[in-house]
Amino acid sequence: MTLPKLLIATRNPGKRREIQQFLDDLSVEIVFPDDVGIYESPQELKLETESTFEGNARAKAEFFQKRSRLPTVAEDSGIEVLSLGGAPGVRSRRFAMVQPGQDEAEANNRELLRRLAGAPPDRRGARYRSVAVFIKKLDALPHVFEGSCQGRITTEPQGTGGFGYDPLFHSNDLEKTFGQANPEEKNAVSHRGRAFRALAKWLAENPL
């Protein structure tokens, strides 16, 4: 039996690993852009110009659905620090201006610690947010699934697990950083876990 394909429109290996697990039980064949011959193009860099996670996720989902003609999910996510007015937010990936070849996550983490230098615990509150947008076919209404999780920014990196800001994000649920958590622990409480479990439930009830 051939399963219907579901395109997960991300090029981030950390997200890719996690999302695959959340959708494991569905009767679909998960594919990523390269698997269906959609290779990274300069046009993609211009997609994430909206001011909301939903706007960016929707722009990515529409772009990849049009090119692949497959049911498509895209996700936009980031970390919001309350005392920084919600920054880096939708700019999480590009918080520090990195030179080509530089380690993006390391530079972003350093920038976040610099911005919070000397800040007491009550000014280090943060949350991760994830918004996943599913588009089944051309011009179909997008379906939106959201998740968030609360924590605070540590004063130095702790742990080497996860990706991106994980060594700095001390989770209220786990009482340790996502960098110190194993994948199962992170996935159980993470913003992405919450958003994609909601999507998986919806797809189980509304098969492709």
Total residue length of the chain: 208
Q: Of residues 35, 76, 103, 173, which has the active-site annotation? A: 76
Q: Is 15 a residue that touches ligand ITT (CB under 6 A)?
A: yes
Q: Is 176 a residue that touches ligand ITT (CB under 6 A)?
A: no
State the minimum distance, in angstroms, from the CB of residue 196 to ligand ITT.
Answer: 11
Q: Is 29 a residue that touches ligand ITT (CB under 6 A)?
A: no
Q: Cα 163 to the chain's mean position, in Å?
A: 11
Q: What is the DSSP string of 67-95?
A: HH-S-EEEEEEEEEEGGGTT-BGGGSTTS
* Cβ neighbours of residue 178 closer than 8 Å, sequence gap 6 or more: 159, 161, 162, 166, 167, 169, 171, 186, 190
145 bridge partner residues = 132
For ligand ITT, which residue has the nearest CB?
A: 164
Among 72, 77, 177, 187, binds ligand ITT (CB under 6 A): 77
Instruction: Tell me how many residues contact ligand ITT (CB under 6 A).
Output: 22
Q: Is 48 a residue that touches ligand ITT (CB under 6 A)?
A: yes
**76 is an active site residue:** yes
What is the per-residue binding string for ligand ITT in 135-164, x denoting contact by CB under 6 A?
---------------------------xxx
The three-point CA angle 188-189-195 to 5° equals 90
Q: Is 78 a residue that touches ligand ITT (CB under 6 A)?
A: yes
Measured CA to CA, the distance from residue 147 to residue 152 in angstroms comes to 17
Fill in the DSSP letter of residue 109.
Answer: H
Stretch that binds ligand ITT, among 6-14, 21-29, 65-73, 133-141 (CB under 6 A): 6-14
Of 73, 101, 76, the C-alpha closest to 91 is 76
Helix (H) or strand (E) run with residue 17 in it? helix 13-22
Q: Is 193 a residue that touches ligand ITT (CB under 6 A)?
A: no
Per DSSP, the three-state class of 139 is coil
State the minimum distance, in angstroms, from the CB of residue 162 to ligand ITT.
Answer: 5
Q: Is 80 a residue that touches ligand ITT (CB under 6 A)?
A: no
Nearer to ligand ITT, 5 or 11 (CB): 11
Which spans of this chain sit near ligand ITT (rule: CB under 6 A)? Answer: 10-12, 15, 48, 60, 75-79, 92-93, 108, 128, 162-166, 190, 192
